[in-house]
Amino acid sequence: MELADATPLWWLAPAVGLLGAYVAMQARRSREAVPFPAVALLRSALGERPSLAWRRHLPAAAILLSMAFAAVALARPALRTPVPRERTTIILVLDTSGSMQARDLFPSRIDAAKAAARGFVGTLPDGFRVGVVQFASQASLVQPVTDDLRAVRRAIDGLEADGGTAIGDGLQVALASLPPETFAAPEGFVPGTAAPGAPTTPGVPEILGTGQMGGPPVPPAVVLLLTDGQNTEGPDPRVAAGSARDQGIPVFTIGMGGRAAPFGPGAGRSNGVDEALLGEIAAQTGGQYYFAPGVGDLNRIYADLGRALGWDWERREIGHWFGAVALGAAVMATVLAAWWLDRAPRPGPAAPGRYRS
């Protein structure tokens, strides 16, 4: 639950003050009570009848409850509920080079990548269109764009690691696999500009705006590229990234495994992820780069991207419910006070031995 304006919550202070004053008054009343000498006689007269002294506190409790709920109602509380986003075509581009057989991630890099990709597909609403591209020494389309998410997961399960790393080829095949209608960017979408608010660390990314909440429009297609190494074969990935930028298609890149050596003669040329290249591809196309050193990070990144790409959050105000409870509590306090606290004592039976003249 979220509040549009938390200022009215300060009105809870008088309610807390009244509660303290009421407790203090009750404590003083107990101290000033006159002891009754014949408690046993009174108890026997009442028999097994339970005490109803507690009910005198109910009107005060209802008033305090009414004040608290009224303050929350004025703060305009709302619930954020997930709703499916406008349909976006998503192309998963997965590295299946020989280095993905490494077992520094359990049970292996390729298995961890496949599991995270399947989890990503599982977060998407029904009707989303997804395609799968693998790249090693060459790239190939293993699952054309489809809204059959089960077929997408089966295609991911069939991936095997072997060969070199042709990142540029993978991007080119991904762009070529997109349906023609995805190349018409929606009004207001500016290709090649970084998405506002996109974090550089794992978390729920505000990468594509907030749809119904007034953010920037959703792009026609998105490419998610994952690799554990550096481009060793095929065309220059920067050229493919330029084509994606011109077509208004952001590329979100994920580096997994180890980082490349930052210093020395082998800087940027070790077996680690080429983060400079992946960051440049993402920035050039308006996407975002993420680094996943472990399985947990990889799963979290994919899950967050799935929620951000597939779902929006709709704000539904519920202040009227709090207002209704506040009004009901105030009415209940009035009724209980009139019924229990403002009643004249009933006349008892006439004393024996007295007669009217």
30-46 confidence digits (pLDDT tens): 555 556 555 565 556 55
**Angle formed at CA 118 by CA 117 and CA 120, multiple of 5 degrees:** 65
Query: How deeply is 107 buried, as exposed, middle or buried, from its count of CB atoms within 10 A (0-12, 13-18, 19+)?
Result: exposed
CATH superfamily label, 82-315: von Willebrand factor, type A domain (3.40.50.410)
Residues of the chain with CATH 3.40.50.410: 82-315
Q: Average pLDDT for residues 56-82, to the nearest whole number?
A: 81
| Tens of pLDDT, residues 14-27 | 777 776 776 777 66
For residue 54, what pLDDT is reported?
61
Report whether 250 contacts 195 (CB < 8 A).
yes
Listed range (73-82, 139-148, 246-255) with the worst mean pLDDT: 73-82
Q: Minimal CA–CA distance to 187: which of 138, 139, 220?
A: 220
Band of pLDDT at residue 156, cut at 50, 70 and 90: very high
Would you say residue 180 has pLDDT above 60?
yes
CA distance 244 to 235: 14
In which residue are the tokens 């190939």 written? 140
Q: Minimal CA–CA distance to 123: which of 156, 84, 155, 154?
A: 84
| Tens of pLDDT, residues 238-277 | 999 999 999 999 999 999 987 764 443 334 444 689 999 9
| Buried/exposed 119-156: b ≥16 CB within 10 Å, e otherwise | bbbebbeeebbbbbbbbbbebebbbebeeebeebbebb
CA distance 106 to 137: 24
CA 182: distance to chain centroid?
A: 28
Side chain identity at residue 299, one-letter code: N
Task: Tell me whether the omega of the peptide bond preceding residue 107 falls within 30 degrees of 0, making it cis.
Answer: yes
Q: Average pLDDT for residues 208-227, to the nearest whole number?
A: 67
Would you say residue 220 has pLDDT above 50?
yes
Say if pTM beats, i.e. exceeds, 0.85.
no
For residue 262, what pLDDT is reported?
46
Q: Got the DSSP string for 119-179?
A: HHHHHSPTT-EEEEEEESSSEEEEEEEES-HHHHHHHHHT----S---HHHHHHHHHHTS-
Listed range (4-8, 160-164, 289-293) with the worst mean pLDDT: 4-8
Q: Minimal CA–CA distance to 100: which of 91, 90, 111, 89?
A: 111
**In the chain, what is the straight-line distance between the N-terminal and C-terminal CA atoms, in Å?**
74
Strand partners, 316: 79
